Structure formats: structure tokens, C-alpha cells
Amino acid sequence: MKKMTFSLCAAMLPMSVAYAGNIDIQLLADTSTQSQATVTVTATNHGDTEERISRWDLPFEFDGSLAAPLLEVTHDGKPVNYIGKLIKRAPIDEGDTIALAPGQMIAMKIHVARAYDLTAGGRFEVRYKTDMNGSGRKLRADNTITIDVVPSTPKLAAFNRVAAGDTQFRGCSASQGQAIRGARQAATQMINGASWAMSGSVAGNRYTYWFGNHDDQRHATVKSNINEIKAAVDNAGITVDCSCTESGVFAYVYPNQPYDVYVCPAFWSANNTGTDSRGGTLIHELSHFTAVAGTDDHAYGQWAARQLAQQNPAFAIANADNYEYFSENSPDRD
């Protein structure tokens, strides 16, 4: 993956507006293409001092596709499936932020059709997310534009022909392949422990710490998801691709392309077990597949995952990091 290059935006007529502090986010329909399946996103600092914004909060692209579902796309009032990358990233540091001087504007072109299923064609509504999936970052809600798209034939994902329970490699050295096999063994031990912890009908401290107060329906959802993740760890034919070079990223997957996992530099720096481990990363990524648990990335890191469990357990039970940390169980909780 490669970082997107930001460029100063030429004069455009704003079609919608959202605000985060002094940074004004605008969506503009791109009428230069026949299908209008692209939008331009601009970020402008309207303050008097330099502002920094996380690059993960901006819809920049990896290799021409979104790195997160930062847009809400609907068709005839129904949500459109996100089919782009879902990544596990390392905690944000200063290198993950973009500085905007007073009055400075940057622009990003987003290929919506590469990240959302627009094959039905017709009129779609596109909105920049106002709450970042429950992360607490609030934006102004008046930010919807429409795009008209020509119907197209869905592109079928390549069929994963790996034998059940086997692990195959793409672009990996022999030592990397050996390390990945060790990571899968670690993931097996972790998910077995998670499954055992969910075997009862009463939530223990380990459950409430990562998924919030007990609720019968949420508890049943977590138990089902853990079982599906365990089935994937134990039985899925997994292909691991080692070509990713994006710094600060552990791994990513496309949710509708099981069971291809792309591992990145932060994966190789991790231990097999413990917090943000290689084994835990595999659990995190497998949970994203719609054929498994269909999790999202509402929050990253133990602190944020813990806050999600306390403040919004409905999001916690759909967050990949919460399943990873529940399975890693580091530090140990009953």
C-alpha cells in the first residue's frame, strides 16, 4: 500500500459541509466522469492557528481504495455494503497526523465504487460520517450529496482454493511463512480460551470488561461471533499476503473476500501472544469477514476498546479489537 498524495484544491462550489473543530470537511460530486462514482473531499482549516488531524480520520486512500468506511452510502434509503479495506492499525502518533496551516485546504478524490457496492446503479446518497462509528468525534450532519451511477456487473472475488484448515502464503519468505504458522497456532490457543470463557450463560469479569454490562441478547451475539471466529481459525483455508509495506498497520482484509489476510510491518514487530499480538491480529482480521462475524473498526487500542464497552456496548460487540483483546486476555481476567 502507498500513502495518498494530498494536493491543494482548485476552486470548487461546496455541495455539503461538516465540521470538526476548526476543520471544515466538504463533499463535492465529481462530474468529470460519466458514472459520477467519485467524490472529492476537502479539508480546510478555518482557524487562526495550525490544526492537526489524524490521517485515519480523513478518507485518503491506499492504492486507490478507502482505508475505512468513512462514508455512509445509501440507495433508495437502504445502506450500501462497504467492500473496501478494513485495517488494524497501530496507535496514532504524530507521524499519523496532517498539519493544516490557517486557511490551508487539502483535497482527496475518493473512488466510491471501489469501496461500496454500487453495481445496482441509479442515484446514491453519500454522506461523510458524523460520529466516526461511535468514536465520539462529532461532525455537522448536513453533509449529504447525490451521485448518479451507471449499472454494472459485479466483479467476483477470486475463489480461495486453500484446503480447509491450511495456511498458504503469497509474497512471503520462508521465515515469514514459519512465523505466520506460529501466529495461527497462537490464535488457536487464544480463541479456544475465549470460547471456554463464553461457555457459560453468565457474563464474567472478562466479558464485562471488553463488552460491557451483561445483556442476554448481546451476550448471545458475542458467543455466536466467538464460535464463528473459532471455526475460521480452526477450519478455514487462509491465504496470507506479505506484500504490504504501509507503516503503522498490522494487517487488513476485504470483508467480502474470505479468507485472504494482508499482513503489514507492525505485524512483524509484534509478539505471537500478548496485547496487539500476531495471533490476536489474525483473530481481529478473521472477525471482519462477513462470512465470519462481520465486525467493524469502531475503535482501536485497549483504552478505546474499553471505553467503547463502558459507554456503547452495542458498538463494542461489533468491534474487531474488542474480540481480539477478549481473546488475548492480556492482562489475565477471569
What are the E-state strand segments in the chain?
16-20, 23-29, 38-45, 51-54, 61-62, 65-66, 71-75, 78-79, 86-89, 97-100, 105-111, 122-128, 144-149, 167-170, 238-241, 249-253, 260-263
Record the cell numbers describing residue 38, joined without a space.
467519485
**153 to each of 117, 118, 119, how far by Cα in Å?**
11, 10, 6
Give the sign of the dihedral formed by CA 254, CA 260, CA 264, CA 266.
Answer: positive
Rounded to 5°, the CA angle 146-151-154 comes to: 115
Closest by alpha carbon to 266, among 245, 286, 240?
245
Distance CA 57, CA 249 (A): 15
Distance CA 57, CA 39 (A): 16
Are the C-beta atoms of 153 and 252 separated by less than 8 Å? no
Q: Which residues are catalytic?
A: 285
Give the sign of the dihedral formed by CA 246, CA 247, CA 253, CA 254.
Answer: negative
| Residue 78 bridge partners (DSSP) | 75
Tell me how far apart the terminal alpha carbons of the chain are, to the nearest angstrom: 39
